[in-house]
Structure 1
Amino acid sequence: MLNKFLLTFFLICIYSLSYAQDQFSYEVICENLFTRPLWVGPLPESKDLIVVEQAGKIYKFNEAKNTKTLFYDISEKVSRKGNEEGLLGFAFHPKYKTNKTFYIYYSVKKPRKSIIAKVKISGNKKSEKTIMEIDQPWGNHNGGHLEFGPDGYLYIGVGDGGSRADPKGHGQNRGTFLGNILRINVDVKNKKYGIPKDNPFVGKSGIKGEIYAYGLRNPWRFSFDRLTGTLYCGDVGQNKLEEVDIIVKGGNYGWNDMEGTSVFKKSNSKAIKPIAEYPRKLGLSITGGVVYRGKKSSKYYGWYFYGDYVTKKIWALKYVKGKVVDRTLPYRSKWNFSSFGFDHKGNVLICSFGKHNIARLKL
């Protein structure tokens, strides 16, 4: 009995030492103002935030007045037939202050596609131009995130096309846009976009040159650490594991051979392992997050925050020189995390489909 007690005590101590014990505090900055918001971020040259709704409307949000103003509306052409379809991605061009250009990722039907479009503002008018179309066989696993990297290129997250278990094997098929992180150059003349010359598969027969990394099931939100340039990605699992990956050029993340570190179809020794994962008992649908680079005095400066949409848990981890050196216990929140973002000061914001539309973590 004593030995059993000592073993239990030892395991508890080890577990406690492996995880930071601090809990997070937060402030709700918006309640019941938006419907299914899934992107939030600062509007350049303004104190306002931009909030994107899944149904196709984009708003300017004034936090001080708690008011919203319509910024752009494509709700009439966005498909919302599937729960995972809609206006899914938004990104300002890095030179938005001068070129007044932003990019969107949305779903359409008949035929079912994902559209990546460029929108340019000129006075009171906004003109939209499609730069890429991706055929979608099913209505789920669209991915949809857009993010400009430190290199100025546009990164695009695309899911495996849906259904269940990737029946067509898109994850390991580099001849399709599905199941990948794409990387394109939008600053080319007389073309919709260009393919960066240093993309890993440029010029290789049967492989899409736009692919930056592959083997992903449904990358739901990725982000660059604004200091180090490290690319973090949350990839939604099938029925065993949710994972956080560090995306590198040419990387294979295993799906549908692997689901995280677990064999799904067959073992794949070339698959890059996630830096963090959690089982179904802790969560059912990961929402990739962001690295906090706000106050340098904060304990959580440089930590990566992410959450689970279904169980409403939030985690944070510290990744340094290729390994996770610290992490928090899961914190049960009130939010169905649809996305993470920043305000103008670099504070972490959370979008939720619930009552508390937008909240700010106090770190």
Structure 2
Amino acid sequence: MSLNRDTRWLFWVLSKSVYSFRMLCIWRLIHTASNVKLIDRFFLFLIFLVYSFSFTFTSSDSARAQSIALELVANNLANPVAITHAGDGSGRLFITLQDGQIVIYNGTQILPTPFLDISSLVSCCGERGLLSVAFHPNYVNNGFVYVNYTDNNGNTVIARYTVSANPNIANPSSAFILLTIQQPFSNHNGGQLQFGPDGYLYIGMGDGGSGGDPQDNAQNLGTLLGKMLRINVNGDDFPTDPNRNYSIPSDNPFVGITGLDEIWALGFRNPWRFSFDLLTNDLFIGDVGQNAFEEIDFQPASSNGGENYGWRCYEGNSAFNTSGCGPASNYEFPIFEYSHAEGCSVTGGYRYRGNDFPGLFGIYFSGDFCSGKIWGTTQNGSSWTTNQLLDTSLSISSYGEDETGEIYLAHYSSPDGAIYHIVSAGGGGSCVGTGSFRIRGKVTRSPRGVISGVALIINGPSACTNTATNDSRGKYQFQMLGNGTYKITPSKAGCTFTPSSPTVTISGSNQTVNFTGSCP
């Protein structure tokens, strides 16, 4: 994300087409037995009867995951840009405000006294400011907290502070500068700090700004700009350098070869929000695009670092400026990209690993600052699938995670900025199992015959949902439904159905809904 994107935002609004896309993934149960003996067909039929309930009434994870809502946590905030926790068991959320403050949400309210106020040290705003905070993995014992901000000269500063005797207030006089990075322009400062599962501090750096990376910083191993950095905050390999108070992990990919030792990965334009998967330790990175595409990049936990994510050679999957670039095989391409018809500034998020909403488990959330759209990306082996989950009016500046793996997002505004909790809408559970009634029916072909392999999606009370696939006779059913109003939508590639999405109300009795379809 870039926080001062007025021109790009206006361009996006003017060029935005009034349409929406919805992808539906359908699992089909295909029965073929033309070359099977009669007795074998009989046993196959018995097996089908035994398992038909589970086949027909399996709740669709992708449909369930798409039913999300936003629950207001805190409001009346001035331009929130980051959300995190201290890992100390307190359950507190620490919210970074761009002008130089970190405030605490204690579970019921925003505390009146900031945890840290370094406004006098921070240049703000636009894309500058206090941009994030990260707590030392051993914070419970050492009280160390790290911040990333642009100083009054516009340069990036990574500094450490120490909590005071009051656990809700850091000592503003305890500043210790770890790293200062010169910035040639006012934009593309990156700004994210995150301790990785390895205990090292990861720092997301933008390409230095302007437009199109005029200094080619992102591909230059001689600068820290346009890179993901990885440092050890528990040592000091540079005792005579006041701007480098840290040590270099010995397994960083450019140690001992050409390239600055701090670099972990390269080829970023402006990595706005990255995160580690709590379960797998995989790394997800949102990288803001130029004028055409936004992207989510991925680094598996097994990586040894050194990946090149392509900028400025590529913007997303598309060539941007390939002068001096190598073959495409030299670069890592995004797991998800979208064009500026859908937004103009990506905000990377988190993969849900909480316990409150099982239907969301494993979904990686991202969003767009300009359009307010929220996407969910899921992995299936080596492939990734992304669906739009919600279309909001929010300026999504950041996502965050609490100690239990619940995910939050920030709405960038002042004085009415806000924090929201991502929840499953109405619980997003299964309609099947909520009562003792059923809806059944048949899908016939016009003018005669049946259409099999049709996916029928049922949506009902409290945003419940299930998917069933009809059988070779065209029949389907949903059992154990409760009272209420349901909508049933049939779907098969290339086919149209009448009615298209009828509603039916169960009020103490079973119901029947039939469809007539036309397929090429």
- TM-score with structure 1 length normalisation? 0.90
**C-alpha displacement at 1:255, in angstroms?**
0.5
**C-alpha displacement at 1:138, in angstroms?**
0.4
Partner of residue 134, structure 1:
181
**C-alpha displacement at 1:109, in angstroms?**
3.1
| Worse-superposed segment, 118-127 or 163-172 | 118-127
**C-alpha displacement at 1:62, in angstroms?**
2.5
Partner Cα separation in structure 1 for residue 104 and residue 282 of structure 2: 29
Partner of residue 332, structure 1:
391
Partner of residue 74, structure 2:
30
Partner of residue 253, structure 1:
309
Contact kept in structure 2, 1:62 and 1:68, CA below 8 Å? no
1:307 to 345, 367, 383: 367
Partner of residue 211, structure 2:
164
SS at match of 2:140: helix
Partner of residue 489, structure 2:
none
**C-alpha displacement at 1:189, in angstroms?**
5.5
Structure 2's unaligned 5+ residue stretches are: 1-19, 27-60, 240-244, 425-520
SS at match of 2:25: helix
Partner of residue 152, structure 1:
199
Contact kept in structure 2, 1:131 and 1:193, CA below 8 Å? yes
Q: Does 2:198 align with 1:198?
A: no
Contact kept in structure 2, 1:287 and 1:309, CA below 8 Å? yes
**C-alpha displacement at 1:24, in angstroms?**
1.3
Q: Does 2:419 align with 1:358?
A: yes
SS at match of 1:302: coil
Q: Does 2:72 align with 1:16?
A: no
Structure 1's unaligned 5+ residue stretches are: 1-11
Partner of residue 293, structure 1:
353
Q: Does 2:320 align with 1:264?
A: yes
Partner of residue 7, structure 1:
none
Q: Does 2:355 align with 1:347?
A: no
Partner Cα separation in structure 2 for residue 328 and residue 15 of structure 1: 7
Q: Deviations over 1:73-116 (max 9, x none)?
A: 11011001x50000012100011000100100000133x31000
**C-alpha displacement at 1:297, in angstroms?**
6.0
Partner Cα separation in structure 2 for residue 103 and residue 67 of structure 1: 20
Partner of residue 58, structure 1:
102
Letter in 2 for 1:118: R
Partner Cα separation in structure 1 for residue 84 and residue 380 of structure 2: 26
Partner Cα separation in structure 2 for residue 133 and residue 26 of structure 1: 37
Partner Cα separation in structure 1 for residue 72 and residue 21 of structure 2: 35
Partner Cα separation in structure 1 for residue 401 and residue 389 of structure 2: 21
| Worse-superposed segment, 244-253 or 212-221 | 244-253
**C-alpha displacement at 1:15, in angstroms?**
3.7
Q: Deviations over 1:242-271 (max 9, x none)?
A: 000013510001110111110001264111
Partner Cα separation in structure 1 for residue 139 and residue 160 of structure 2: 12
Contact kept in structure 1, 2:264 and 2:306, CA below 8 Å? yes
2:230 to 157, 160, 183: 183
Letter in 2 for 1:25: A
Contact kept in structure 2, 1:140 and 1:161, CA below 8 Å? yes
Q: Deviations over 1:214-265 (max 9, x none)?
A: 0000000000001100000000000111000013510001110111110001
**C-alpha displacement at 1:187, in angstroms?**
1.1
Contact kept in structure 2, 1:234 and 1:245, CA below 8 Å? yes
Letter in 2 for 1:75: S
Partner Cα separation in structure 2 for residue 352 and residue 180 of structure 1: 27
CA gap 1:198/1:321 in 2 versus in 1, 3 angstroms: farther
2:127 to 68, 78, 84: 84
Partner Cα separation in structure 2 for residue 70 and residue 361 of structure 1: 25
Contact kept in structure 2, 1:61 and 1:69, CA below 8 Å? no
Partner Cα separation in structure 1 for residue 186 and residue 151 of structure 2: 10
C-alpha RMSD of the superposition: 2.1
Matched residues, number: 347
**C-alpha displacement at 1:133, in angstroms?**
0.6
Partner Cα separation in structure 1 for residue 215 and residue 351 of structure 2: 34
CA gap 1:14/1:329 in 2 versus in 1, 3 angstroms: closer
Contact kept in structure 1, 2:373 and 2:390, CA below 8 Å? yes
Letter in 2 for 1:246: F
**C-alpha displacement at 1:39, in angstroms?**
1.2
SS at match of 2:350: strand
**C-alpha displacement at 1:45, in angstroms?**
3.9
SS at match of 2:115: strand
| Worse-superposed segment, 61-70 or 276-285 | 61-70
- Is the radius of gyration larger for structure 1 or structure 2? 2
Contact kept in structure 1, 2:103 and 2:110, CA below 8 Å? no
CA gap 1:292/1:251 in 2 versus in 1, 3 angstroms: same
CA gap 1:273/1:186 in 2 versus in 1, 3 angstroms: same
Letter in 1 for 2:119: S
**C-alpha displacement at 1:356, in angstroms?**
5.3
